[in-house]
Amino acid sequence: MTRVRVASFAILLVASAASARAQQGALEWGPAPPSLPAGARMAIVSGDPRKPGPFAIQLDLPDGFTVAPHFHPTDEHQTVLRGEIGHGLGDTVNARQIHWLHHGESGVLHANVHHYAVARGRTIVIVRSTGPFVVTYVRPEDDPRREKP
């Protein structure tokens, strides 16, 4: 009986991985929203981050991509599909305080908690949350939507 359960579990894992790969191939990639620094790409997996309700997106981040300290009104759930993403808490970036999530790992950044993010290597991450998803920068001058003088 145990071998049957192990075999069934293995089949489910393979089928799940194949489904994820097929879904990833069907994603439409484009530039990330202007609330993120230039260089990131985004694909919507489900829902719409601009509208009320649950959504999932994938972000494709280049090596060294950094998002300055910011916060959101809702929890942000992340799962790393490729590379590594680091998060730190607070109003200033401190490289010694970054907690790294590696391929296959997940984490939650809670609502209204000030945090920053850094990608190490090309990184692809799934972000799940509830819309409308808002990014508010701790320092207005860090906001890429702000017009530069």
Each residue's pLDDT, cut to its tens digit, for the chain (149 residues) gives 444 444 334 333 333 443 454 455 689 999 999 999 999 999 999 999 999 999 999 999 999 999 999 999 999 999 999 999 999 999 999 999 999 999 999 999 999 999 999 999 999 999 999 999 999 999 999 999 997 66
Per-domain residue ranges for the chain? 30-138
What is the predicted pLDDT for the residue at 8? 38
Q: Please tell me the distance from the alpha carbon of residue 52 to that of residue 37, in angstroms, as a whole number.
A: 24
Q: Which residue's structure tokens are 């959101």?
A: 72
What is the predicted pLDDT for the residue at 147? 79
What is the predicted pLDDT for the residue at 144? 96
CB 87 within 8 A of CB 99: yes
Q: Which CATH number fits domain 30-138: 2.60.120.10, 1.10.3720.10, 3.40.50.800, 3.40.109.10?
A: 2.60.120.10
Stated pTM of the model = 0.81
What is the predicted pLDDT for the residue at 10? 37
Q: Please tell me the distance from the alpha carbon of residue 68 to that of residue 144, in angstroms, as a whole number.
A: 10
Closest CA to 44 of 62, 56, 60: 56
CB atoms within 10 A of CB 102: 11
Q: Please tell me the distance from the alpha carbon of residue 87 to that of residue 101, in angstroms, as a whole number.
A: 8
What are phi and psi for residue 35, nearest 5 degrees?
-75, -10
Cα 53 to chain centroid, rounded = 17
